[in-house]
Chains A and B, each alone.
Chain A
Amino acid sequence: MARIGVFICHCGENIASTVDCGKVAEISSKIPGVVFSTDYKYMCSDPGQTLIKDAIKKYKLTGVVVGACSPRMHEPTFRKVVASEGINPFFCEMANIREHCSWVHPKGEETTQKAADTIRILVEKVRNNEPLYPIKVPVTKRALVIGGGIAGIQASLDIANAGNEVILIEKEPSIGGHMAQLSETFPTLDCSQCILTPRMVEVAQHPNITLMSYSEVESLEGFIGNFKATIRKKARFINEELCNGCGDCTLKCPIKKIPDEFNAEMGKRPAIYVPFPQAVPNKPVIDKDNCTHFKNGKCQFCKTNCSAGAIDFDQQDQLITVDVGAIVVATGFTIKGTDFFPEYGYGKYKDVVTGLQFERLLSSSGPTLGEVRRPSDGKVPKKVVFIACAGSRDPAKGIEYCSKICCMYTAKHAMLYKHKVPDGEADIFYMDIRAGGKNYEEFVRRAVEEDDVNYIRGRVSKVYEKNGKLIVRGVDTLLNSTPVEIEADMVVLATASVAHSDAESLAQKLHISYDSYNFFSEAHPKLRPVETNTAGITLAGACQAPKDIPESVAQASAAASKTIALFSQDLLTREPIIAVSNKSTCVGCFLCQSVCPYLAIEREEIKDRNGNIIKTVASINSGLCQGCGTCVAFCRSKSIDLQGYTNNQVFSEVSALFERSEEYV
């Protein structure tokens, strides 16, 4: 027989000003099963907690209902109180009579009645509660980091330096990401590769890090502490163990005119190539689609010239399964593609380039070895127009957000251009200059004041060619919206940063949520900016939203610290709010399996003593189940129940919704 205590909190005046707490306690005392009820000014305070503890002892309570604030606020507090008196904490429920009652209704009888009703509903729930115990699961102390840009590199190093194993996978042939493509970085004008490549080498040489380049996630199963990831190691047609990275093959390849991805297609590369000289690992890869051998079998130049005998045309993709305990997703971003700006003539005029392409022109390792030469005729442009917010903050283009990095890199581009072409002119069309960040505003001022960069506030409507010049037609909104036309030699678009085209499919493989722009979603925008809603998976860098390098690195270290904290435990404790199946009534229709978002429902064969299968039933993997209860609502034979929200509990809550009127008694 249940012996339930009801404790009504005044919350100072917060509840008591509109709800008659004494009356609620009095009404509650008449609910069947309630043996004690009282009200007190601050139930969460120390004396309030003592009051509950004393009542539990004195009245031998078996369950407690606290009528106070939202359970989202103080449920843990009161469950701890109850547990300290030896009662299973899940026999404590909170009735929300503050947020859902006293704060939203005027003082009066009806408000008091609503509070009393809320108590009655929860008393009915507690009467049907069952003891629950936290679930313990072991932890595999090995992390999977997806993406080898600066965020993935930083996270890997941090986790590995704390003594844990890391598997870093990168889909491109080399790690480095976008940062490896940059010339110099704002606001200090550090050489990007000079600060990045030592980190890349550190990753490759770290005893705790296994680097898998040219690899992608194929699938993911499991749960926090116990993931099983299948990784597709794409065939690079090179035996990495034999290859010594001499690079002879890349020189001998007769195909030489393939647009070079690393140079943002501003340069050319052969069919067997190393993306860039400092690549890690420094092993080439054969681009199967463009290789003559794979097209018609006629060419073997690389193979015959490889002194190490490392070329292996028969190599196949490998699927490798690894056990990991945590995952850091650091897959980064991409920039909007070629056909996105017909009005700016992108794709039509060779001298209209993206910011990333201009970056390669500025880079000393780029196709022009750092000289600014325009793509069409190789001449040094004397007038360059930069267009900020190309696509970003433009609802008409479907990208309403700010790409965040463009203001700064556009200022940097204009500044570097002026350093390289001192007699050139740089004009920037902008909407706003967003230079929030340490030393960022000063950097923009420097571009204007020291390097004579001309900022024009306004949008560009059109770019077209006339007499060998690019005419940029825009407006200057600071000069009374005067139309402006500039004859430029080159136009640089600060195109919007967007999520990778395969971000959505990766999110689905990992079971993490993503927003309407396909950026991955954090668990809470303010308080859990690093974790995803899937326990054990964290985010780092621009896969979550556009970010600059310092922010990506900071988030990567944060993700690493979350991972290290997880790995510091030998066993994980989870809330026992999970589904359980009744294997004797389950008929094995597996409707539940088809609706489970976590693939937590497994088929279990029930066998007789001779080993013959009698039936196949649903069995719930308590590690995977997150406790949404969707399976419970779908189960036709009521063979699945959700602990903490059992059918018994919720149906009796509904039965207690209203005080039964005469006609029902």
Chain B
Amino acid sequence: MSEFEPKIVAFVCNWCTYAGADLAGTSRIKYAQNVRIVRFPCTGRIDFMLLLKAFEEGADGIIVSGCHPADCHYTSGNYHARRRWMVFKDLLDFIGIDSRRIVFSWVSAAEGAKWAHLVNDTVSEIRNLGPMKEYKNLENVSSNKIGELIND
């Protein structure tokens, strides 16, 4: 069996991390292909339901990255994202998703190399964790069975 290739989704802000990933490109810094980038104006915009949705779609790991503290294009969106992340982490524990599958980071528009490292590190971390099975297991539970479980 070939090595497990994790599927990674990156939710990034337009002003810092997206531009940082652009810089990695113009600097020709190579990194793993596993990542798919979704662009947002600001990490503050990222509804964390999107993260759960991404897991549902088959993602094995997620990167959320925006501007460094105090660098936010919108003054404070990144702080709200960070605050939401602190709460969301507890929710992940509650619903049984390993919080190591979500990597929260800051990558500025000047940090092309950091972006490449972030992707590579995340890929190897998720590779160690293995495929994300929690949601797939849930799908196998038919609605009848859920009913039985509840009745029990």
Contacts and interface: CB of A to CB of B under 8 A. Distances in A.
Contact of B45 (A96, A121, A630, A660): A630
A100 B31 contact: no
B33 interface: yes
Contact of A106 (B30, B45, B81): B30
A656 to B, nearest CB: 8
Nearest to B75: A597
Contacts of B89: none
Q: How large is the interface on A (under 10, 10 to 19, 20 to 34, 35 or more residues)?
A: 35 or more
B80 to A, nearest CB: 5
B100 interface: no
The interface residues of chain B, by DSSP majority, are classed as mixed
Given A103-B28, A104-B31, A651 B21 contact: no
Interface residues of B, number: 45
B45 A99 contact: no
A104 B139 CA distance: 36
Contact of A99 (B25, B31, B74, B81): B25
Given A99-B26, A629-B44, A72 B76 contact: no
B25 A104 contact: yes
Nearest to A114: B33
Interface stretch (B46-54, B90-98, B142-150): B46-54
Contacts of A664: 58, 139
Interface string A639-664: 00010110100110111011011011
Interface in A561-579: 577
Contacts of A118: 36-37
Nearest to B44: A630
A634 interface: yes
B103 interface: no
B76 A654 contact: no
B77 A628 contact: yes
A597 B18 contact: no
A657 B9 contact: yes
Contact of B57 (A99, A104, A644, A657): A657
B28 A645 contact: no
Contacts of A651: 50, 53
A504 B31 CA distance: 40
Interface in A19-35: none
Given A595-B80, A657-B59, A105 B30 contact: yes
Contact of A654 (B30, B42, B57): B57
A250 interface: no
B9 A654 contact: yes
B22 A99 contact: yes
A650 B33 contact: no
Interface in B89-117: 116
18 contacts: A70-B22, A72-B18, A96-B22, A99-B25, A100-B21, A103-B28, A104-B24, A104-B29, A104-B116, A105-B31, A106-B30, A110-B33, A113-B33, A533-B73, A628-B42, A630-B42, A633-B84, A654-B38
Given A105-B31, A630-B42, A658-B7, 16 more contacts: A70-B22, A72-B18, A96-B22, A98-B25, A101-B25, A104-B25, A513-B75, A533-B73, A627-B41, A630-B80, A642-B41, A650-B40, A655-B53, A657-B36, A657-B59, A658-B36
